[in-house]
Structure formats: C-alpha cells, structure tokens
Chain A
Amino acid sequence: GEDVEQSLFLSVREGDSSVINCTYTDSSSTYLYWYKQEPGAGLQLLTYIFSNMDMKQDQRLTVLLNKKDKHLSLRIADTQTGDSAIYFCAESGLKGAQKLVFGQGTRLTINP
C-alpha cells in the first residue's frame, strides 16, 4: 500500500536554510506535494513536483526528488519566523485515484 514518512520535528535558526525530508513507497506516484499548515488553519499548497522532474525552484523554496530512492525534500532558504508551521508531504498515488496520501507532518520551529 501507499505510505509516506516524515521526521516529526525540525528546529532551525532564523536566516538559516531548512530542509524537510520525506520518503514514500508508491512507485507509481505521479505528483508529489508540499503543504503548509499553520496553527488552527487548513492546508495551503506550497508547491508540487511531477515525477519526471528532479528539481523545482520557486522563490525561497526548492524541491528535490530522487525517484530511485523515493525521497523528496523541501528546502526553505533564509528561514523566517513566519515559516513556523507543520509541513506535510503528500503524493497522488495510482493514476485515477484522486486521494492524496499524506505524511505525518514535520513541525518546523524557528529559533531567533
């Protein structure tokens, strides 16, 4: 079955880069996503990557995909206090299956 794993916590200093990692098991994943959840709020799509890409950059965000190892990462450059949130990795599994499979979320804490 599909499974997505993330480490639960990450703490970085303001101004440093944050790297959040994710592994998945479904080799037929077509799209992989990063969502951000702030306290008491819903999920906000940050970025996504198609499985035939290995990198995508969008302003401070860089997504790296290693399809061979089924490893996805999100790098946030120049981390700010407003980046404090829980970050979820998700994948769309089998083609035609519209559900998203989420990891447990990584809580990012910024230290001043």
Chain B
Amino acid sequence: NAGVMQNPRHLVRRRGQEARLRCSPVKGHSHVYWYRQLPEEGLKFMVYLQKENIIDESGMPKERFSAEFPKEGPSILRIQQVVRGDSAAYFCASSPSGLAGGSSYNEQFFGPGTRLTVL
C-alpha cells in the first residue's frame, strides 16, 4: 500500500518564479490537507480540500497561494512569485473521510514533505 506521495521532495526556486507542489493521497482517500512548517516551528494548517472542492482555506495566505484537488490526478499547491519567506517544508496529509460517525476523529496520514528553498 503506497502512502501519501509528494513530489518533488526538494524544490529550489528564485524569487519571482512559480512553485508547484504535488500530493498524491493514499489510494481511496478523498480528503487532502496542506500544512507548512517554517524552520524550527510546528506545522501550520493551510487548506483542506475534498475532490474538486475547497472546504477550508483559512490558513492560506490571501495572495499568491492557491490549491486544487481535481477529480483526477494529484492535489496541487501552487505558489506564484515566490519570496524568500516562502522557504519551508510543505506537508500534505490525506484522510479517508471527514467526520467519522459524528465525531471529529480524523487520522491524517502525512507525506514526506516538499522542502522549498527560495534563493
């Protein structure tokens, strides 16, 4: 069973370029989450998506960042016109469903992350 896959594992961009980060969830999982980890910090929630829908984007910066999870294919986190402050590890997680039986138990399976470096 393949877990969550992210690519690339490492990405180097110059300021002003675009970064595209891909996440393939666990097979059969229809919920995807993106988190960002700045150096020496914990993970911060960015966005939660189901297939073709953004459910919660409360953690996404208002500009330059977008995310999608199309009906077919991986989820994409896109960062336009990158700046040095975007350098971080970006983690994707997936879960089989959202609410489970009315509770909020929500095991999220994490990918290995994409480490973005902006020069």
Which residues does A use to contact B, with CB under 8 Å? 4, 30-31, 35, 40-45, 48, 50, 88, 92, 95-105
Question: Distance (Å) between the CB of B41 and the closest chain A CB?
Answer: 6
Say whether A42 contacts B113, CB under 8 Å. Answer: yes
Instruction: Assess whether B119 is interfacial by the CB under 8 Å rule.
Output: no
Interface-side segment among B61-69, B76-84, B100-108: B100-108
With a cutoff of 8 Å between Cβ atoms, the chain B residues found around residue A102 in the complex are: 35, 42-44
Residue of A nearest to B44 (CB): A102
- Please give the distance in Å from A35's CB to the nearest CB on chain B: 8
Tally of contacts, chain A with chain B, CB under 8 A = 75
B4 to chain A: which residues have CB within 8 Å?
A: 42
> Apart from A43-B110, A101-B45, what 20 extra A-B contacts exist at CB < 8 Å?
A30-B103, A30-B105, A41-B113, A42-B91, A48-B105, A48-B107, A50-B105, A95-B103, A95-B104, A96-B99, A97-B56, A98-B31, A98-B48, A98-B95, A99-B33, A99-B48, A100-B43, A100-B106, A102-B35, A102-B43
User: Do A42 and B112 touch across chains, with their CB atoms under 8 A apart?
Assistant: yes
Chain B residues touching A, range: 20 to 34
| Given known contacts A42-B110, A99-B33, A105 and B42 CB-to-CB distance under 8 angstroms | yes
**Residue on A nearest B58 in the bound complex, by CB:** A99
Contacts of B55 in A (CB 8 A): 98
Please list the 10 inter-chain residue pairs (A to B) with the smallest Cβ-Cβ separation, ordered nearest first. Answer: A99-B45, A102-B42, A42-B110, A43-B110, A30-B104, A104-B42, A42-B112, A102-B43, A92-B104, A95-B104
